[in-house]
Homo-oligomer: A and B are copies of this chain.
Amino acid sequence: MIIQFTFEPKPKMQKQLIETFTQHEFLFAKGTAPRPDTEIWVTYGEDVTKETVAALPQLKWISVASAGIEKMPLVYLSDRQIHVTNARGIHKTPMAESIVGHILSLYRSLPAIYQLNEKKEWDKPKGSRELRGETALILGPGAIGAEVARLLTAFGVHIIACNRSGNSVEEAEQTIRLDELTNYLGEANIVLSLLPSTNETRHLLTNEHFEIMKEDVIFMNFGRGDVVAEKHLVAALESSPKRHAVLDVFEVEPLPPTSKLWQLENAIISPHISSHSAFYVERAMEIFSENLSKWESGDTKLRNLVDLKAGY
């Protein structure tokens, strides 16, 4: 089989794949379209369009080395019965570390400390808070949310998980259904969205939700940018300077220079890097190797198989 990569893992990883799966032909090329006879395509996903897929009549499986697949032609892929797997789960550790880091940083006045350092000024910033005893509400608690819940619990934070079903999330103190959200939003000091982008989650959060939130809430979006319309987010931040937003994702990325979010002192713009890790490609390749072994043995119950109809 022809296995086409449209990114280039380190030579060591390439060699390992070639030596492990000797019966296949591996192609590694960045920035070019896959060879027309490609059967398995390994990609970061941004080059998967209806056109590129249409040019690959023998394509059976796309292995995406990232988590987001919302820009892919899901209906077309489903019609073609192409398997799609992603790398969800490998973001768990770096993202949870980033999320907890941002929370602690704001609670313990780190931005103010860094600013004073730049000015070479000894001054004691006011307003340090304790995280212990606070409440965090996590929307869309998958692998990353569970890890954040586990870590924050160690800090003595009460965790309310929120998902569609209300099925209990083990790491949370309490799990609520999405349709109960407005009853609980007012209790949370921290509201974290990890929701993917689907028809159901698009613009799920509106002014109505932000009005219920505490006036000093930290709203964090580390899922997908379109869970809230930017104008609602801007209004929520303008309504109270005590609020903060920490945003790793945006409706349009890169965030355009004209976005009002850049102007707000209480908005932290993390340029979609919270998942960065030196181990990223290595872990994605582990999942791919595991799946390729399954594929060879005829097992199509691949790890991280995407439900193309549900969109995640």
Residues of A participating in the B interface, judged by any CB pair closer than 8 Å: 93-94, 97-98, 100-102, 104-105, 107-111, 113-114, 116-117, 120, 122-125, 128-132, 150-151, 154-156, 254-255, 257, 262, 268-274, 276-279
Decide: A268 and B111 in contact? CB cutoff 8 A.
no
Residues of B within 8 A of A113 (CB): 268-271, 273
**Residue from B101, B130, B151, B262 within 8 A of A278 (CB atoms):** B130
A117-B269, A129-B277, A130-B278 given; 14 more Cβ-contact pairs under 8 Å: A94-B128, A98-B104, A98-B128, A100-B104, A101-B107, A101-B108, A101-B110, A102-B110, A117-B262, A120-B262, A122-B269, A128-B276, A128-B277, A130-B279
- Chain B positions within 8 Å of A254 at CB level: 122
Task: Please give the distance in Å from A75's CB to the nearest CB on chain B.
Answer: 31
Interface centre among A101, A107, A271, A273 (most CB of B within 10 A): A101
Subset of 9 A-B contacts with CB under 8 Å: A93-B130, A93-B156, A97-B104, A97-B131, A97-B155, A105-B105, A125-B273, A128-B276, A130-B277
